[in-house]
Amino acid sequence: MVAAKALENERVRVRLARFAIPAVKPMDPEQAKQWQTLKDDREFPWNRGFKAIEGAATKDIELLEFVPDKVHRHLMLRGEAKDNAALIEYLDALTMQPHLRAVHLVRRQPAKREGLVFVEFEIRGKF
């Protein structure tokens, strides 16, 4: 009887061992950093940022660069405006977007290329 019980216990143990979940190894620091970067990318409010920028768009603005700081929820935009009036209009439109805060002009510089005069700019803000 004891031998039969021991044999049955061994059979159960073997069956359960097939379904056992292996022990999870701790992540190395580099892998943990990669997972955190992926998590930050997924949690970043991309849609809100793009909608806010698109909502302020005009035909007189050419946006050349969009650089988000995902950790601090900051945003940097670089581009070219037809003239100062178009730039001010764009800046005002950005400040009116509900998902952007502290929008401000960092740099404005007249430029000329192939006989065309325009204004280069850099704008920063927060999500």
- CATH code (residue 85): 3.30.1360.100
* Pairwise CA distance, residues 57 & 40, whole Å: 27
- Per-residue pLDDT of 40-51, as tens digits, reads 788 877 888 888
* Pairwise CA distance, residues 100 & 77, whole Å: 12
Tell me the pLDDT band of 70, cut-offs 50, 70 and 90: confident
**Of 27 and 28, which is predicted with more confidence?**
28
**Taking CA 87 as the corner, what is the angle to CA 108 and CA 57, rounded to the nearest 5 degrees?**
130
| pLDDT average, residue stretch 84-108 | 95
Domain containing residue 81: 45-126
**What pTM did the predictor assign?**
0.69
Query: Number of folded domains in the chain?
Result: 1
Residue 33 burial (CB < 10 Å; 0-12/13-18/19+)?
exposed
